[in-house]
Structure 1
Amino acid sequence: MPSVVFRSPDGTFLVGSDAERRALTDPGRVARQFTNRIGDPTPLRIGDAALTAEAVTARFLVRVLASLPGGQPARVAVTHPAGWGHYRLESLRGALSASGLADVLFVPGPQAVVQAHDALARLEEGAAVAVYDLGGKTFEAAVVRKLAADRFVPAGPPEELEVGGLDFDEVVFQHVVEALQPGWDALDPMDPAVLTAVAELRRACTAAKEKLSADTEVLIPVALPGIATREVRLGRSEFESMIRPAVEETVAALDRALRAAGTPPHELAAVLLVGGSARIPLVTQEVSAQLGRAVSPAPNGMAAIGAALHARGLEPEPAAVATAMWTRPPLPEAPKALRRKRMRLTPFVTAGVLAAAVAGALLANNALANKAGAKTTSITPTAPTTTTQTTEQPTVVEYVPNAPTAPATPPRATTTQPPKPKPTTTTTRPSTTVTTTKSTPPPSSTTTTTSGTTRAGAP
């Protein structure tokens, strides 16, 4: 069913093909491909109503479920792009809950597709499958791995592009517009008859694009007021030359997804081409050439079948959907000339670091020797029998990963002997150090405290 809704003047909603037909006579009350706007706070204007994309999606789903011949299903699963974050999913979940659908199961689209494929051709555990999804408005490439029975997880981060079948429809439409010049520019954009004819022409362009998947050329019918042209010819070679740059971008995104997942093409158990525009012959040719293996479009409705399998079975663990199983791709190597320079400098840098460390140790030993036998020193003028109460201000602990090597200067804080049974208690606050002593330490112990911010590792 196409993602199209039509809002009537009385507030009722039509969806799918019914909405497409009504849009021919009243195009200002229709919304298409609204799922791509989920999470966008800017509302969609549909007639005299302003609704968010997630609210329109919820209305769409409610109408679809109400039209089912078997009535309301026991469970509902909704697929979504694998790259969607928490905010977009929660926005959609809230809108569905407000519409009476509180127990919807969300399934990443690529995982649903692979689960449907697994039901048709059983995959071995550990098998990796590439998914090339070219939909109406967006493209997504992902690699999914089967861990166990009915458990599928992403093998790497997905790749997404803002390109899809609607862009290819627009290419065909612009081809027709150029063929209708100069009569096209003379049309009145406010004439209802013109608007209806243009909407019908767009539908004809979409149908022509789909026919070119099987035919080598098509004739696009034209019925515009004041224009004598009745048909515009379009060949498959012309169409492919116009969309080739976009298709090449999708193939490059698929290659990036494979490299990010650490999975070469020959290790893939299957390559699934899904989405209406994935049936374009040029897509199959380009993907086959890139991967070095024959590929073909998957059966229709793979994502819906996989979502139904999720809804029929047990709900997967959240970790199975959210946990990424990929490794980082290797970083590009530096040029050989630069690597030679680094190799030459490495011994000198290492020697310098070692010399600095030795010098620091010698200076520290000299400082300890000079201070031997010194009297007890404390920077806190607190009586031996009193205890200083600290405020509730939290201690600042700064985590510094991979802290650099200490400088080759004598350390400012030194303890000459191990602590005694009655140790000194130190409480550190931002930029301030407070030392409290419950009893006078033995004369032989030395405690030196330097103010500063405490640096600590991860808790």
Structure 2
Amino acid sequence: MRRMPYVLGIDIGSTNTAAAVARRHGTTWTRPEPVPLNAGSVLLPSVLHLSEDGSLHVGEPTTDDGSRITRDFVRRIGDDVPLLLGGEACAPQTLTAELATWVVERVHAFEGGPAEAIVLSHPASWRPYRRDLLRRALFDLGLRTVTLLPRTVTVAEGHAARGFGGTTAAVYALGGNSFEAALVRRTPRGTYETFGTPQGLDPIGGADFDEALAAHVRTVLARELAATARRGAQAALRGLLPECGRVKRELTVDLAADVVLPLPTGPARIPVTRAQFEDMIRPTVQATVDLLLRTVHGAGLTPAQLDGVLLAGGSARIPLVTELITAALPVPVEVEPDSQLTAATGAAMAACQVVSPRPRRPEPAREPAAVAGAGRAAIPATRRPHHDTTVPGDPPPRPPVRILPLELPKASRLALARGRGREG
């Protein structure tokens, strides 16, 4: 059976990694579809751990050896202080490239061949220095033609793939440990670019919501935990944050849920209503919305000049998020059913345009609010597009990810020692 050509989009977030592919169908591309990266899930924890034999593994380990586990390394790219993994200094860009390479190899095996183009998202606030660090690390591991795009651009492309037809939008990306706000606009070629100054709150994200709920549970169960043997209480509390994450997701659709904590004396059930949970997280959510509004005003715009607010990230589906955004910016708020995949599907959409870019079209007259158009699953083939990945103060953009070998540093000792030892 002949393999269908495909392109790949990757989003390595602070807590989870996702990937999506779009397949060529004649002269067009299918709508991007998520790729299963983990057993029974399309989301893979953005975690690397080093085994005793020196092989690198992805995902959460079965043993709890903190010295051999690393996470949230993308945020550290550009930091002069290396991360320690198994006692060895590792550059965060090398770890990020290792995870990206694992994803590419897994999709290669799943699809039966290499992708025609790969797009990898990155934080919108990155300047050229951090992008170049990641480009070189990808090159070292054999990924030599990866296009890097700001996550806010891939989020906009993800919403466009599902039918958003606006010209100018604000992007609200709420990750596990990070928040980004930026403005995007459609270019004459139909792609998106950032403008204004992207803003962020770091580290603020969905993990703070889990911790707020966990603090509530610990307060409610203070007496029971004090009366429980120390070892039994510690074992129970280790599973508290994952359980609070489950309840957080349940409260996005239900008005009440129970936090269930197994204690030595029996399971404890702590009922939580959506209203209670929203009161716990309201100050943090309000801080993100205030920053989003400042981002709009900082670009010299008013909320009425936007065609919408585009949401992404696992916690973006919390009803309070939409409520507070709508109160501050009275424009349509767009959120996908699985908002953790928005950036990855948008990256795949952008990868289609790397292979089969749209023709340049005349700039339309700017209306107060653009009329929503049809989805963009079908992409005609013409010339290569230009994706603007710059922020104010950057030098003129250059072709994405063509790095000459002479510019590259030597591959890290960690990567060389492993060779083909990466495993899932």
Q: What TM-score do the two structures reach when normalised by structure 1? A: 0.62
Q: Distance in 2 between matches of 1:293 and 1:270?
A: 5
Report the equivalent of 2:215.
Answer: 174
1:317 matches 2:386? yes
Q: Distance in 1 between matches of 2:265 and 2:144?
A: 52
Report the equivalent of 2:47.
Answer: 4
1:212 matches 2:281? no
Is the alpha carbon distance of 1:72 and 1:199 closer, same or farther for their aligned partners in structure 2, counting shifts above 3 Å?
Answer: farther
1:287 matches 2:356? no
Is the alpha carbon distance of 1:30 and 1:218 closer, same or farther for their aligned partners in structure 2, counting shifts above 3 Å?
Answer: farther
Aligned-residue offset at 1:304: 1.2
Report the equivalent of 1:340.
Answer: none
Match of 1:58 among 91, 94, 97: 97
Q: Distance in 2 between matches of 1:200 and 1:86?
A: 40
Residues 325-354 of structure 1 show CA distances to partners (whole Å, capped at 9, x for unaligned) of: 9xxxxxxxxxxxxxxxxxxxxxxxxxxxxx
Is the alpha carbon distance of 1:116 and 1:45 closer, same or farther for their aligned partners in structure 2, counting shifts above 3 Å?
Answer: same
Equivalent residues of 2:306, 2:331 under 8 A apart: no
Match of 1:147 among 179, 183, 187: 187
Q: Secondary structure at the match of 2:187?
A: strand
1:77 matches 2:119? yes
Give the partner amino acid of 1:120.
Answer: R
Match of 1:161 among 197, 201, 205: 201
Aligned-residue offset at 1:322: 1.5
Is the alpha carbon distance of 1:269 and 1:175 closer, same or farther for their aligned partners in structure 2, counting shifts above 3 Å?
Answer: same
Is the alpha carbon distance of 1:174 and 1:13 closer, same or farther for their aligned partners in structure 2, counting shifts above 3 Å?
Answer: farther
Q: Distance in 2 between matches of 1:218 and 1:8?
A: 38
Residues 128-159 of structure 1 show CA distances to partners (whole Å, capped at 9, x for unaligned) of: 11111111111111111112123322231112
Q: Distance in 2 between matches of 1:89 and 1:148?
A: 25
Is the alpha carbon distance of 1:173 and 1:32 closer, same or farther for their aligned partners in structure 2, counting shifts above 3 Å?
Answer: farther
Is the alpha carbon distance of 1:13 and 1:207 closer, same or farther for their aligned partners in structure 2, counting shifts above 3 Å?
Answer: farther
Equivalent residues of 1:62, 1:99 under 8 A apart: yes
Equivalent residues of 1:157, 1:260 under 8 A apart: yes
Equivalent residues of 2:158, 2:349 under 8 A apart: yes
Report the equivalent of 1:34.
Answer: 73
Residues 98-118 of structure 1 show CA distances to partners (whole Å, capped at 9, x for unaligned) of: 222222210011112222333
Report the equivalent of 2:132.
Answer: 90
Report the equivalent of 1:363.
Answer: none
Q: Distance in 2 between matches of 1:53 and 1:185?
A: 40
Aligned-residue offset at 1:168: 1.0
Aligned-residue offset at 1:121: 2.6
Give the partner amino acid of 1:119.
Answer: A
Q: Distance in 1 between matches of 2:165 and 2:269?
A: 49
Is the alpha carbon distance of 1:294 and 1:119 closer, same or farther for their aligned partners in structure 2, counting shifts above 3 Å?
Answer: closer
Match of 1:133 among 173, 179, 202: 173
Larger radius of gyration: 1
Report the equivalent of 1:416.
Answer: none
Equivalent residues of 1:154, 1:324 under 8 A apart: no
Between the two proteins, the alignment pairs up a number of residues equal to 315
Q: Distance in 1 between matches of 2:175 and 2:311?
A: 10
- Stretches of structure 1 that go unaligned for 5 or more consecutive residues are 326-459
Q: Distance in 2 between matches of 1:31 and 1:212?
A: 30
Equivalent residues of 1:15, 1:64 under 8 A apart: no
Correspondence list, 1:235-274, <5 A: 235-274=273-312
Is the alpha carbon distance of 1:198 and 1:60 closer, same or farther for their aligned partners in structure 2, counting shifts above 3 Å?
Answer: farther
Correspondence list, 1:293-332, <5 A: 293-300=331-338, 301-314=341-354, 316-317=385-386, 320-322=388-390
Q: Secondary structure at the match of 2:57?
A: strand
Q: Secondary structure at the match of 1:148?
A: coil
Report the equivalent of 2:165.
Answer: 123
Higher mean displacement: 108-117 or 248-257: 108-117
Aligned-residue offset at 1:61: 1.4
Identity of counterpart residues, as a percentage? 36
Give the partner amino acid of 1:64.
Answer: V
Aligned-residue offset at 1:26: 4.6
Residues 256-288 of structure 1 show CA distances to partners (whole Å, capped at 9, x for unaligned) of: 111122222222222211111111111011011
Q: Distance in 2 between matches of 1:122 and 1:134?
A: 19
Aligned-residue offset at 1:52: 2.8
Residues 215-245 of structure 1 show CA distances to partners (whole Å, capped at 9, x for unaligned) of: 2222222235x56553333222221111101
Residues 375-418 of structure 1 show CA distances to partners (whole Å, capped at 9, x for unaligned) of: xxxxxxxxxxxxxxxxxxxxxxxxxxxxxxxxxxxxxxxxxxxx
Q: Distance in 1 between matches of 2:142 and 2:253?
A: 43
Give the partner amino acid of 1:177.
Answer: R
- Stretches of structure 2 that go unaligned for 5 or more consecutive residues are 1-42, 355-383, 394-424
Q: With CA pairs under 8 Å and 6+ residues apart, which has the higher RCO, 1 or 2?
A: 2
Q: Distance in 2 between matches of 1:13 and 1:233?
A: 41
Aligned-residue offset at 1:83: 0.7
Residues 281-307 of structure 1 show CA distances to partners (whole Å, capped at 9, x for unaligned) of: 110110111112452423432211221
Q: Secondary structure at the match of 2:192?
A: strand
Equivalent residues of 1:272, 1:298 under 8 A apart: no
Higher mean displacement: 177-186 or 82-91: 177-186
Report the equivalent of 1:15.
Answer: 58
Q: What TM-score do the two structures reach when normalised by structure 2? A: 0.67
Q: Distance in 1 between matches of 2:168 and 2:82?
A: 40
Correspondence list, 1:374-413, <5 A: none
Aligned-residue offset at 1:252: 0.7
Report the equivalent of 1:432.
Answer: none
Q: Distance in 2 between matches of 1:310 and 1:121?
A: 15
Q: Distance in 2 between matches of 1:188 and 1:41?
A: 43
